[in-house]
Amino acid sequence: MRIDSSPFRRLADWENPAVLEINREVSHAPWRAFETVEQALRGERTASSNVLALDGLWSFKWVSSPAAVPAGFWEAGFEAADWTSIQVPGCWETQGFGEPV
**What are residue 24's DSSP bridge partners?**
none
- The domains of the chain are located at 1-52, 54-101
Give pTM, 2 decimals.
0.54
Are 22 and 16 spatial neighbours (Cβ–Cβ below 8 Å)?
no
* Burial environment of residue 39 by CB neighbours within 10 A (0 to 12, 13 to 18, 19 or more): middle
pLDDT in tens, 30-58: 777 888 888 888 888 778 888 888 999 99
Give the pLDDT confidence score for residue 26 in this predicted structure: 83
Give the pLDDT confidence score for residue 101 in this predicted structure: 79
pLDDT in tens, 61-98: 999 899 999 999 999 999 999 999 999 999 999 999 98
Give the pLDDT confidence score for residue 21 in this predicted structure: 86
